[in-house]
């Protein structure tokens, strides 16, 4: 088991990483205000709320760091108690709130894409259950074993919801892509969104859009953080006993994941929003389409010749740009 000083130093590095990610988010928020002026008021309100929540999260981290380095600098036992009571317990609830907030955004995008409320209802229910479980864990924080159990339930429900949500988004993007010309602008956007949705950090140099999409990945960092958090909590549950207010290695690992997870989710949401204009521009300028878009923001796409007509309808119904991008 690492010493307390080593554990505290590791948590300090996590605090610095939180501040760094907040700086990345500030740049993304500024970019959003410059290039997404035509978004709806509700979307702008969502971004403002996300900016407020992430800023409060960083303020909480800085406050704990101030108490540790100024008020309790000579009392290692008190610092360990501070991290046990404030960092591990209270920060876990703020992490769950931010993650839930972003998950509702992606549920809304899934509903816009599928137009089926039941498809969005299943992951939404799991996300609500995850938030409720984390609230119970924070309420029973003095009972370490019970609190850890509820935290594990929170992570399990959230991971199941994420799996269903991401799989559904990919399914509907592929479903729409099959009904479009492979060289049409809407199909170009769908392929780009698939890369934004599921790919890890990779670069596709043959096309500008692929490079733009690979810079705005959404799933991999947050998923890895959630998985590491879940494994650490399971290891903590398997321990026969815990020393009160002592920072064990699994709890430190869980704390680091709790610190980084909400910021990764926030970055995923903002990069998804900021990717839309790049995708539109790349689709409009892509010579492979040989088609011009009528509008670039909030409008309809240029007509595409359908590969097959809907049975009994005489025409095919294409997903609009709002369904694909917004």
b (16+ CB within 10 A) / e for 256-292: bbbbbbbbbbbbbbbbbbbbbbbbbbbbbebeebebe
Q: How many residues does the chain have?
A: 326
Mean residue pLDDT across the chain: 70
Which range has the worst mean pLDDT, 162-166, 167-171, 227-231?
Answer: 227-231
Structure tokens at 139: 């309420």
Residue 126: pLDDT over 90: yes
Contact criterion met (CB below 8 Å) for 150 and 133 = yes
Complete DSSP assignment for 135-196: HHHHHTTTSHHHHHHHHHHHHHHHHHHHHHHHHHHHHHHHHHHHTS-TTSHHHHHHHHHHHH
pLDDT(35) > 90: no
**Structure confidence at residue 85 (pLDDT):** 59
Nearest to 98 by CA among 169, 46, 141: 46
Q: How far apart are CA 25 and CA 15, in angstroms?
A: 15
- Asked if residues 186 and 304 have their Cβ atoms less than 8 Å apart, the reply is yes
What pLDDT, on the 0 to 100 scale, is given for residue 262?
Answer: 87
**pTM recorded for the entire structure:** 0.73
Q: Return all residues near 125 (Cβ < 8 A) that are at least 6 apart.
A: 161
pLDDT at residue 62 is higher than 70: yes
How confident is the model over 200-231, as pLDDT tens digits?
333 333 344 334 433 434 445 556 666 666 66
Site of tokens 């991971």: 159
The model's pLDDT over 13-23, given as tens digits with 9 standing for 90+, comes to: 888 888 999 99
For residues 227 and 237, which has the higher predicted lDDT (pLDDT)? 227
- Give the residue from 100, 61, 76, 99 showing the smallest Cα distance to 255: 61
- The maximal CA–CA distance of the chain, rounded, in angstroms, is 79
For residue 124, the model assigns a pLDDT of 94
* Distance set, CA 20 to CA 13, 46, 145, 253, 318 (Å): 11, 22, 32, 19, 42
23 burial class (0-12, 13-18, 19+ CB within 10 angstroms)? exposed
Which 8-state DSSP code applies to residue 287? T
């Amino acid at each position: 088991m690492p010493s307390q000083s080593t554990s505290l130093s590791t948590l300090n590095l996590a605090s610095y990483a939180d501040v760094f990610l907040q700086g990345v988010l500030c740049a993304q928020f500024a970019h959003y205000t410059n290039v997404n002026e035509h978004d709806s008021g509700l979307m702008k309100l969502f971004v403002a709320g996300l900016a407020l929540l992430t800023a409060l999260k960083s303020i909480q981290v800085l406050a704990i760091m101030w108490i540790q380095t100024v008020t309790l600098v000579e009392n290692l036992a008190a610092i360990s108690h501070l991290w046990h009571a404030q960092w591990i317990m209270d920060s876990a609830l703020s992490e769950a709130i931010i993650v839930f907030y972003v998950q509702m955004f992606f549920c809304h995008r899934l509903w816009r894409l599928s137009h089926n409320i039941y498809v969005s209802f299943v992951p939404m229910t799991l996300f609500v259950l995850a938030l409720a479980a984390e609230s119970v864990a924070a309420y029973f924080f003095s009972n370490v074993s019970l609190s850890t159990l509820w935290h594990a339930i929170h992570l399990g429900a959230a991971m199941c919801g994420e799996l269903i949500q991401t799989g559904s988004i990919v399914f509907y993007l592929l479903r729409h892509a099959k009904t479009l010309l492979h060289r049409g602008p809407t199909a170009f956007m769908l392929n780009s969104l698939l890369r934004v949705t599921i790919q890890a950090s990779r670069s596709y140099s043959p096309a500008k859009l692929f490079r733009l999409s690979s810079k705005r990945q959404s799933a991999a960092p947050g998923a890895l953080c959630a998985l590491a958090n879940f494994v650490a909590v399971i290891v903590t549950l398997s321990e026969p006993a815990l020393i009160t207010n002592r920072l064990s290695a699994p709890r430190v690992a869980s704390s680091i994941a709790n610190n980084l997870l909400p910021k990764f989710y926030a970055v995923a949401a903002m990069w998804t929003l900021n990717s839309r204009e790049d995708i539109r521009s790349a689709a409009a300028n892509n010579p492979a389409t040989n088609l011009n878009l009528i509008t670039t923001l909030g409008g309809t796409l240029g007509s595409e010749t359908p590969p097959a007509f809907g049975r009994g309808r005489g025409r095919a119904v294409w997903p609009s740009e709002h369904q694909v991008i917004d």
